[in-house]
A = this chain, B = another copy of it.
Amino acid sequence: MIIGGGEDRTDDKNVLTRFVEIAGGAGRRLVVITTASRVPDKVWEMYDTAFADLGVAARKHLHLDSRADANNPALVAEIEQADGIFMTGGDQKRLMAIIGGTLADEAMHRALIERGAVIAGTSAGASAMSNHMLADGKTDLHPEKGAVHLGAGLGLVNRVVIDQHFSQRHRLARLLTIVAANPHLLGIGIDEDTALIVTPGSGIEVIGDGAVTIADGRDTITNIADLPQHGCPELIDVRLHLLPSGSRYKTIEAPAPLAHFMHIVTHRNTLS
C-alpha cells in the first residue's frame, strides 16, 4: 500500500481504514515504524489515536533508532508478528540508513511474501518501498539533468521510482527527469491522501482523494545523455497514465498500454 503522504488521520480516514481492512480487520496486530521521522513520538501519537479510533487494540510503536535496533531480534519480532506494518513519513534516506539490509528489512520482505501481511508506506515510507529510491531532488518547472538523485530502497517493489505529494507539489518534471535518465524504471507519482494498493500476483487499486500518475519512458527519445549538467532534456514519446481514485485492474485484464506497469508492480518479489 503505497501512500502519497498527507492521508487523512482525523476525519474520513479512508486510506487508514482500508489499511486496517487489508490487514484483516481491527482485531489484528499493527506496527507503526517511525524511523523516517525526527519527531517519532509526535508521529506515533497521531497514528495511535487514528488506529484506536478505528478500533485497533493491538497497535505498537516501533521506532528503530539505529542499525543495532533494526538488528535486535526482540524488536524485529514485532514486525514478525504484525499483520499490518506501516512506515510513516520523514526522510527516506534516514529510514534506509537505519533499516536497509537489517533483520527488520528482511522481516518486512518475509511478512509480505510468506505471510501475506500488508506493508504500507506514506510519503518517505512510500518512496523507500522501491529498490531504486528517489532520495532527493529539486522540484522545478522543467526536467533538469542531474537534479534528482536515486538511492537504494527496500525493494518491496522493483523497476519503479516512487514520488509522493505528487500533484500537490507539482512533481511531474522531476519524475520525467528520472524516467529520461533511467528509461528502464517506471515513474510513479502518488497524490496526497491517495494510495496505490498493489496485491502481488493479482492487481492494483487506487483509493483516496487524488490520483496516481505513471510515466513510462521506455520508448522515449531523449538527448539527456549528451546534455551538460542542469540542462533541460528534450523528451519525445513519454507514455503517461493517470489513474484516479477508483481505478482498479487485475493484471491479466488490464488494457494493453498498462500491461507493463501491471506486470512490474504486481510481480511477486523474492528476498534476494
List residues of A whose CB falls within 8 A of some B CB: 141-143, 167-168, 170, 172-173, 176, 191, 210-211, 215, 219, 221, 232-245, 247, 255, 257-258
Partner of A210, one of B142, B191, B244: B142
Interface of A is mostly: mixed
A167 CA to B219 CA in the complex, in Å?
24
Return chain B residues, CB-CB under 8 Å to A234: 242-244, 247
A168 CA to B255 CA in the complex, in Å?
33
Partner of A233, one of B240, B244, B257: B244
Whether the pair B237, A257 counts as a contact (CB closer than 8 A) is yes
Whether the pair A236, B255 counts as a contact (CB closer than 8 A) is yes
Return chain B residues, CB-CB under 8 Å to A173: 167
Whether the pair B244, A236 counts as a contact (CB closer than 8 A) is no
Return chain B residues, CB-CB under 8 Å to A235: 240-242
Whether the pair B143, A167 counts as a contact (CB closer than 8 A) is no
Nearest CB to that of A215 among chain B residues?
B240
- Return 11 A-B CB contacts under 8 Å, by A number: A141-B168, A142-B242, A176-B242, A233-B242, A234-B242, A234-B244, A235-B242, A236-B243, A236-B257, A237-B241, A237-B258
